[in-house]
Amino acid sequence: MISIASAMQQTEIQNLLNEYNGGDFTYTFKEKQGIKMIFEVTGDPTEAAAAAKKLIKAQPWGSVLYFQAAAI
């Protein structure tokens, strides 16, 4: 599992990761804990967190977004 902590753009992050179909990983939103969103992932959680960070940063709204992505 991974967690993404962000106070803003939570819906966009959930949609982006749930709809990702790049083949490396799949992300399934599980729950929200404050500003943290918990996702179930396939594959290595550390690599999935790094990939999620790259995906979010690649978005027009993601390049200026303050967030954390971590394996849990």
* Model pLDDT for residues 9-47, shown as the tens digit of each residue: 999 999 999 999 887 889 999 999 999 999 999 989 999
Q: Does residue 13 contact residue 37 with C-beta atoms inside 8 Å? A: yes
Tokens of 49: 């967190």
* pLDDT at residue 72 tops 80: yes
- Domain housing 14: 2-71
- Provide the pLDDT for residue 24: 81
Q: Is the dihedral of CA 58, 24, 5, 32 positive or negative?
A: positive
- Provide the pLDDT for residue 64: 92
- Domain total in the chain: 1
- Provide the pLDDT for residue 21: 86
Q: Does residue 27 contact residue 12 with C-beta atoms inside 8 Å? A: no
Q: Does residue 33 contact residue 6 with C-beta atoms inside 8 Å? A: no
User: How far is 46 from 11, CA to CA, in rounded Å?
Assistant: 22
